[in-house]
Structure 1
Amino acid sequence: MAAADGGLTDQSEPDGPRLTFRVLGPLQVQGAAGPLRVPPGRQEVILAALLLESNRVVSTSQLVDLIWEDNPPETARTQVQICVSRLRKMLAAADGEVSLVTRPPGYVLHTGADNVDAALFTALVQRARGLGETGRPEEAVGILRSAVTLWQGDCLTGLDSGPLANRARRLNEERLAAVELRIRLELELGHHDRLVSELQMLTHEHPLREKLHGQLIQALYWSGRQAEALEAFRAARRYLAEELGLEPSRELRDLEAAILAGDLPAPAPPAPSVPAPAARPAEEGEEAPAAGTAPAPGSAPARHDTVPHQLPADTADFVADSQRLAALEKALTGDDGRATVGLAAITGKPGTGKSTLAVHVAHALAETGFPDGQLYCDLRGTTGTPATPVEVLGRFLRALGIPGQLIPETLDERAEMYRTRLAARRLLVVLDDAAGEGQVLPLLPGSRGCAVLVTSRARLTALPGAHRVELDVLDEDRALELLARIIGADRVAGETVAAEALVRTVGRLPLALRIVAARLAARPHWTLASMVQRLADERNRLDELTHGEMTMRASLSLTYEGLAPEDRGLLRLLSMAQAPTLPSWLAGALLDDRRPFPSDLMEPLVDVQMLDVAGVEPTGGFRYRFHEIIRVYAREQLAAQHPPEARRAAFARMAGGWMHLAQEAHRKVYGGDFTVLHGDAPRWEPPAAYTDETLADPLAWLDAEQTALCGMVGHAADEGLHDLCWDLATSLVTLFEVRGHYDLWERTHLTALAAVRKAGNLRGTAAVRASLGSLYMSRSQYDTARQALTSALDVFQALDEPMGEALCRRDMALIARTGGDDGTALELYRRSLADFDRAGDVVGRAIVLTQSAHIRMRQGEIGLAQRQLDEALDIYEGVGYTGGRARTLRRVGQVLLEQGQSDLAVLTFTEVLELCRDSGDVIGEGHLLRDLGHAFAMMGRPDRARDFYDRAVAAREQIMDFSGGALARLDLARLLKEEPGRSRELLTPAVAVFRERRMVRELAEAERLLGAC
Structure 2
Amino acid sequence: MAFRPAEGAAGQDGPGADASRALEFRLLGPVSAARAGVAVPLSGAKIHTVLAVLLLARGALVADSRLSTALWGDAPPPTSNAQIYTYVSRLRKTLGNCVRITRKGPGYVLDARDAEVDLFSFERLDRLGRQALEENRFEEAGRLLGDALDCWSGQALENVTEHLLRFERPRLEFLRAQALERRIEADLSLGRHRSLVPELLSLVARFPMDENLRAHLITALHRSDRQAEAVQVYGEGRRILDEQLGVVPGQQLSEAYLRMLRGEGAVPPRRPLMLLPARAAAFTGRAGEAARLRSLLLRRPSGPGARLRAALVTGMPGSGKTALAAEVAHGCAEAFPDGVVHADLQDADGAARPPSAVLAELLTALGETEDPARTARLGPSELVRRYRARIADSRLLVVLDDASGDAQLAGLLPVGPDNALLVTSRARPAALPAAHTVSLGPLDDEDAVALLAETAGADRVRAEPAAVRDLVRYCAGLPLALRIAGARLAARPQRTVARFAAQLADPRTRLAALSYGSLDLSRTLGRALIRLTPGTAAVLPWLAPVGPGPFTARLAGEVTGLAEAEAARALEELVDAGLLFAEPDGALGEDRYRFHPLVLLHAATTPRRDLPR
Structure of greater relative contact order (alpha carbons < 8 Å, 6+ residues apart): 2
Higher-helix-fraction structure: 1
How does the TM-score come out when normalised to structure 1? 0.31
